[in-house]
Amino acid sequence: MRIAYGISAYKNPAHLERLVRRLHAGPAETMFLVHVDSKTASATYEEMTGRLADLDGVRFLPRHACYWGGFGHVEASLKVIDAIAGGSERPDHLILLSGQDYPIKSNAAIAEFLGARPDRSHFLHFPLPTENWSHGGLDRIDRWHLRRGRLHVQLPRRRTLPTSLARWGGSAYWILSRDAVAAISSFLAANPWYVRYFRHVDIPDEIFFQTILLNSAEAERCVQFRLHHTEWERTPAPAILTVEDYPRLVESQCLFARKFDENVDAEILDRIDDGLLR
């Protein structure tokens, strides 16, 4: 089995190294496609690349700026997908992570989970409108959203997707099968307008890929699944996880958890290594 990890990072080189080295250690064959926000200082980026220079299968992608709620996060994922499409070997699964994630299941358990479901994609998804988002989430798509850095303006002018695509939302992080990655690539090649439209959608990483896949032949192979254990009750949310969260991580059925910050609590990662991943 070959697993590709797409990782979007912007800080904490030591944690990025720890994450990649943990996932790199068998039993599946792995590759890592890492995008680092261009707003990250050059010295930090150089430390990231230097820490992982000795590992095979790690590639750092061309950088661009990522702002919360903007298209940059989708663009980073598209660079990952393009890198896979241009490679000689296609992975069986693509897993999207952030640079503040960490596994809470062993590599063997992750490989077993994916091996039992070779043609399935796993992520949370739901049709729009949804009661979980303000205005059902439709204002994210049907209004013009203009962003310049951290500045965000929603225009009153309405617009609609130029096709009959049903609109879907869901989690920003996912596991995609090989066929799902191919379906996304094929759709975007045939519909260049889609990227142009979504450059002016609000928080598009929660809509862009979900709408493509749930309107494709892959829809019946998209499984409801929560990839990450997160704590949303504390602010700022999602909360930085600490040793106090460890009992909930033990009980979690998720494969990964977020967010971690060794400057806040490094002990939690040692507890995970010793208690869950050994």
Closest to 174 (Cα-Cα) out of 259, 255, 75, 62: 255
103 found inside a domain: yes
81 found inside a domain: yes
What's the number of CA atoms in the CB half-sphere (13 Å) around residue 104?
25
163 found inside a domain: yes
pLDDT in tens, 77-136: 999 999 998 877 789 999 999 999 999 999 999 999 999 999 999 999 999 999 999 999
241 found inside a domain: no
Are the C-beta atoms of 103 and 256 separated by less than 8 Å?
yes
DSSP codes, 148-161: ETTEEEEEEEE---
Strands 29-36 and 2-9: parallel
The identity of residue 132, as a single letter, is: N
Element (H, E) at 146: strand 143-148
pTM of structure: 0.96
40 found inside a domain: yes
pLDDT in tens, 231-274: 998 888 899 999 999 999 999 999 999 999 999 999 999 999 99
Q: Check which CATH number belongs to the domain holding 132 and give it.
A: 3.90.550
Whose tokens are 């709408």? That residue is 211
Q: Which domain holds residue 147?
A: 2-228
Which pLDDT score, from 0 to 100, does residue 266 have?
Answer: 93
Joined together, the tokens standing for residue 18 give 């720890």
152 found inside a domain: yes
What is the C-alpha separation between 51 and 96, in angstroms, rounded?
Answer: 21
251 found inside a domain: no
266 found inside a domain: no
Work out how many domains the chain is built from and give that number.
Answer: 1
